[in-house]
Amino acid sequence: MERENVYEKPVTLGNILKFAIPTIAMSVFMSFYTMVDGLFVSNLVGTKALSAINLAAPLIQLVTAISTMLATGGSAVIMKKMGEQKSEEAKEDFTFLILVNVVTGFVMCGLGYLLMDKVFAGMGLSADVSGYCMEYLSRYLLFTVPVLLMNNFSLYMIASGRATLSLICSVAGGVLNMVLDYVFIAIFGMGIGGAAVATGIGYSVTAVAGLFVFSSKKSLLHFKKPVIRFRVLANAAANGCSEMATALVTGIITMMFNWTMLRYVGEDGVAAVTIIMYVLMFASSLYTGYSYGVAPMLSYYYGGQDNIKLKKLVCTSLKVIAVISIITVAASFIMTKPLVSVFARPDNPVYGLAVTGNRICTIALFFIGFNIFASGMFTALSNGAVSAILAFSRSFLFMLITMLVLPVVFGVNGIWMATPVAELMALALSLGMFIIYRKKYHY
């Protein structure tokens, strides 16, 4: 069958892009509609409601982090077995890991309801904001299981050669989310709770589609009677821990940026940081989407000990990322003022800060893609330890060092320099790991 032979095709740029383009588009679209979601809430409910979403974000990020860990780590383990021609065992493990996601979702939902009162009570929030936080999170938690399944089914669809279907589900869910935001908030007057329900329903599109897709025996991966193998779960968790760490520390670094900007510039600086983070998030989604797209191929060739295809895939990927990096850097420099003007008028103090900051932070785009690919590659090669070291160092350790040191030396410009310098440090570490493990993986 065509779908079952997709990994047997030659490693060409065209065949690689068939895997990668849908996941790139999906990742870019997800980053876009996340921003649109916030616009609906701020304009239709109010800025206090938007603040509540940000305050609830760390708890939501925990759900996302765990689902990402199980999805990326599990996909690597299962596709490695597929490459080893252990297809029946891979399907048993696949079904087992999906059941683990369901159980985990119910447990996290229950804990969320038990603990959210205490969490928000300890923040010293106003009654309005605290009420918004409780309303939003209580609705969002109802969709914990679909959120976990959505993250998993998205990657397993890609691994099964159905990357286009994964993209369609993501786009359909995103569009449905945006439409329901307006319907629930503006028409039905459901407030911030309506935004949470709209988000949950949007995520559920991929979850429901995945249940149908993987129930069919025509799919490369499909449900069958599971076999409980705790080693498989441990390997999946170990392989995906780097992606989980990345998701968790993002919020911490954001808070550090805001705190530092408030200290040196004030609220205008925080607004400028937000604008620049949107630009970096959009560019990073290109690399994240590419890495997710080629990960199943890396796992399959590694499992099948096809060193020639593995080496060609890695070499081609590095060239693709280099081209994307050059294009994004050039576009960001050229489009800096138009991009910033979407969020702030030229006569606003935020505008000048953001223009300067974006031009400095754009340098990081030379390095980000290689760092994201390196971490994703080692996850796909079932080396979760190295992937975790790369991801943690890049997203937390190096950022922590640069955020503490550079502003003291260079002032406000040091804050903007923190990201490119941290990414450059991460690139050096990634290059070192590439060299150290080259003989082991034969890339």
Mean pLDDT of 355-368: 93
Q: CA-CA distance, 131 to 45, in Å (whole number)?
A: 13
Residue with tokens 């959120």: 147
Band of pLDDT at residue 317, cut at 50, 70 and 90:
very high
Q: CA-CA distance, 60 to 108, in Å (whole number)?
A: 10
The tokens describing 132, both together, are: 């918004």
**Angle CA 82–160–30, to nearest 5:** 130
Band of pLDDT at residue 379, cut at 50, 70 and 90:
confident
pLDDT at 135: 93
How far apart, in Å, are the Cα atoms of 388 and each of 156, 168, 391, 398, 430?
21, 31, 5, 14, 12
Q: CA-CA distance, 3 to 6, in Å (whole number)?
A: 5
pLDDT at 405: 94
Check if the beta carbon of residue 291 is closer than 8 Å to that of residue 373: yes
User: Closest by alpha carbon to 405, among 420, 418, 395, 389?
Assistant: 418
Check if the beta carbon of residue 355 is closer than 8 Å to that of residue 336: yes
Is the pLDDT assigned to residue 184 strictly greater than 90? yes
Rg (CA), the chain: 22
Torsion angle, CA of 70/31/331/293, rounded to 10 degrees?
30
Residue with tokens 């103090």: 349
pLDDT at 255: 62
Mean pLDDT of 136-145: 93
Determine the length of the chain. Answer: 443
The tokens describing 125, both together, are: 């929030």
Is the pLDDT assigned to residue 435 strictly greater than 50? yes
Lowest mean pLDDT: which of 130-134, 209-213, 241-245? 241-245
Band of pLDDT at residue 266, cut at 50, 70 and 90:
low
Mean pLDDT of 363-375: 94
b/e map 3-33, b = 16+ CB within 10 Å: eeebbeeebeeebbbbbbbbbbbbbbbbbbb
Torsion angle, CA of 433/25/70/368, rounded to 10 degrees?
30
Of residues 188 and 304, which shows the higher confidence score? Answer: 188
User: Closest by alpha carbon to 391, among 250, 214, 221?
Assistant: 250
Q: What percent of the chain has pLDDT over 90?
A: 35
Measure CA of the first residue to CA of the last residue in the chain; give whole Å: 29
| pTM greater than the 0.75 cutoff | no
Neighbours of 147 (CB within 10 A): 26
